[in-house]
């Protein structure tokens, strides 16, 4: 067993760290306050190859492995979680499904602009009445009489990057009687008629990552833009989420690290009762617990990324490892952000420092791409073989 990163992985980690600390960290508070989508830094991320880390160079990406993707996510999230959310949707949720299930023509047309950062992708699974119970979606896709296109009607909710997306990988019922087996995946072009964006959601955290509802009003999707076979959509959605959850685990590690690093520095510098607060046992306990959770979260995340990369060749699933990493790392991020606010006291509660932002941003990692409750359900089902 070798825990060392390869030279290539170290290099990409350093490039991502420099970019995140020099270009993202300085604008993070401004975008958090305004909620404005950080278009300029996202274009830069695209130029550096971070919008298509695992996408082959032939389709405009960097052609790197899943570990590199996790490293990039950690670095960007340590500077700003909102930026890393935008990066993760392009990489994990949009590109992944197309690369695994798309035709050559679909990859050329829909992956290349998104992987190079020239366009933004999004992923449409959740609906107003179906979040955790994803198979209960109501959006319908009906094949036209001449078989040339599907007519899609319905509404998706909580669509990350929805307000700015150029393309969407989305899921709709083609045969409601078959439930999960009646769901089909499609690639939609946001410029086309019938793709209607709702208002941008005001959110607790990751405020610069734009989120909205999208309504489909008789959207006509050419049959060649169906992704995979009819009825294969739910399996595609779940497979894509297996990859997505590793990205969210890495994002959580980045938030936990930022909260820990700031707390460590503050504990060394801040004096109370004539001593640095880091010399007090109660602060030391908090720092020790933060450090253990951070390190464990990173190891689980890199293990899941490694498994996912291997799985590309073995056709095995990485569902278990992804869910474990996402569950543990998101709870570690919340723990570390909570402890960081407490260690910083009043300054942790002030908007003058990024600590309160880490606290607000951390919460979403326990909710999106499958709540902690769903991760526990997935893990327990796989372990027991029972439902």
Choice from 25, 27, 143, 238 touching ligand CAA (CB under 6 A): 238
CB 247 within 8 A of CB 329: no
Identify whether the C-beta of residue 134 lies closer than 8 Å to the C-beta of residue 126: yes
Stretch that binds ligand CAA, among 54-62, 295-303, 306-314, 362-370 (CB under 6 A): 362-370
Q: Is 369 a catalytic residue?
A: yes
Contact between residue 72 and residue 10 where contact means Cβ atoms under 8 Å apart: no
160-189 positions binding ligand CAA, by CB under 6 A: 160, 180
Stretch that binds ligand CAA, among 61-69, 182-190, 236-244, 339-347 (CB under 6 A): 236-244
- The residue (of 191 and 387) whose beta carbon lies closer to ligand CAA is 387
The stretch near ligand CAA (CB under 6 A) out of 48-56, 61-69, 196-204, 233-241 is: 233-241
The only residue of 54, 127, 239, 366 in contact with ligand CAA, by rule CB under 6 A: 239
Q: Judge contact between 323 and 375, C-beta under 8 A.
A: yes
Q: Looking at 69-77, 198-206, 306-314, 369-377, which segment touches ligand CAA (CB under 6 A)?
A: 369-377
Asked whether position 150 contacts ligand CAA by CB under 6 A, the answer is no
User: Quick one: which of 150, 335, 358, 368 contacts ligand CAA (CB under 6 A)?
Assistant: 368
Give the β-pairing of 271-272 and 195-200: unpaired
242 lies in the site for ligand CAA, by CB under 6 A: yes
CB of 355 to ligand CAA, least distance (A): 24
Smaller CB separation from ligand CAA, 91 or 263: 91
The binding track of 124-143 with respect to ligand CAA, each residue x by CB under 6 A or -, is: -xx-----x-xx--------
Tell me which stretch binds ligand CAA (CB under 6 A): 3-11, 170-178, 230-238, 283-291.
230-238
Q: Is the distance from CB of 245 to CB of 322 less than 8 angstroms? A: yes
Minimum distance of ligand CAA from residue 205's CB (angstroms): 13
Which residue in 71, 99, 324, 374 binds ligand CAA (CB under 6 A)? Answer: 374
Q: Residue 118 or residue 317: which is nearer to ligand CAA going by CB? A: 317
Size of the site for ligand CAA (CB under 6 A): 24
264 binds ligand CAA (CB under 6 A): no
Q: Which candidate in 213, 321, 366, 369 is catalytic?
A: 369
Residue for token digits 């607790």?
204
Interface pattern 73-92 for ligand CAA (x via CB under 6 A): ----------------x---
Q: What are phi and psi of 221, to 5 degrees?
A: -105, 115
Nearer to ligand CAA by C-beta: 13 or 252?
252
User: Least separation, in Å, of the C-beta of 368 and ligand CAA?
Assistant: 4
Distance CA 154, CA 230 (A): 18
Q: Considering the rule CB under 6 A, would residue 249 count as an interface residue with ligand CAA?
A: no
319 forms part of the interface with ligand CAA (CB under 6 A) = yes
Interacting residues toward ligand CAA by CB under 6 A: 89, 93, 123, 125-126, 132, 134-135, 158, 160, 180, 234-235, 238-239, 241-242, 317, 319, 368-370, 374, 378
> So which residues are the catalytic ones?
369
């Amino acid at each position: 067993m070798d825990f060392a990163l390869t030279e290539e992985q170290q290099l990409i980690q350093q490039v991502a760290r420099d970019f995140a600390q020099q270009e993202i960290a300085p604008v993070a508070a401004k975008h958090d306050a305004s909620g404005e989508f950080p278009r300029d830094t996202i274009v830069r991320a695209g130029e550096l190859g971070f919008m298509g880390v695992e996408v082959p160079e032939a389709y405009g990406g960097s052609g790197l492995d899943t570990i590199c993707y996790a490293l990039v996510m950690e670095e960007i999230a340590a500077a700003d979680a909102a930026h890393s959310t935008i990066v993760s949707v392009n990489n994990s949720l949009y590109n992944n499904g197309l690369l695994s299930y798309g035709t050559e023509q679909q990859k050329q047309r829909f992956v290349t602009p998104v992987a190079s950062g020239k366009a933004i992708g999004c992923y449409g699974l959740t609906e107003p009445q179906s979040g955790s119970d994803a198979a209960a979606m109501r959006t319908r896709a009906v094949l036209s009489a001449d078989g040339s296109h599907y007519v899609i009607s319905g509404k998706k909710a909580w669509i990350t990057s929805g307000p700015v997306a150029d393309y969407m990988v989305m899921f709709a019922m083609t045969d409601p009687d078959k439930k999960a087996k009646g769901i089909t995946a499609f690639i939609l072009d946001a410029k086309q008629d019938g793709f209607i964006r709702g208002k941008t959601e005001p959110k607790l955290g990751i405020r610069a990552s734009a989120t909205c509802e999208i309504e489909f009003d008789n959207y006509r999707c050419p049959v060649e833009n169906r992704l995979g076979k009819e009825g294969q959509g739910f399996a595609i959605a779940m497979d894509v989420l297996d990859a997505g959850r590793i990205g969210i685990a890495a994002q959580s590690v980045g938030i936990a690290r930022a909260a820990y690093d700031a707390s460590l520095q503050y504990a060394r510098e801040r004096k109370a009762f004539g001593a640095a607060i880091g010399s007090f046992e109660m602060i030391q306990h908090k720092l020790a617990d933060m450090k253990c959770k951070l390190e464990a979260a990173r190891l689980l995340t890199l293990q899941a990324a490694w498994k996912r990369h291997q799985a590309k060749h073995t056709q095995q699933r990485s569902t278990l490892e992804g869910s474990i990493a996402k569950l543990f790392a998101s709870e570690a991020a919340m723990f570390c952000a909570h402890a960081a606010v407490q260690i910083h006291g009043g300054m942790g509660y002030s908007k003058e420092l990024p600590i309160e932002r880490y606290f607000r941003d951390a919460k979403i990692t326990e909710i999106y791409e499958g709540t902690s409750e769903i991760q526990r359900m997935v893990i327990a089902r796989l372990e027991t073989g029972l439902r």
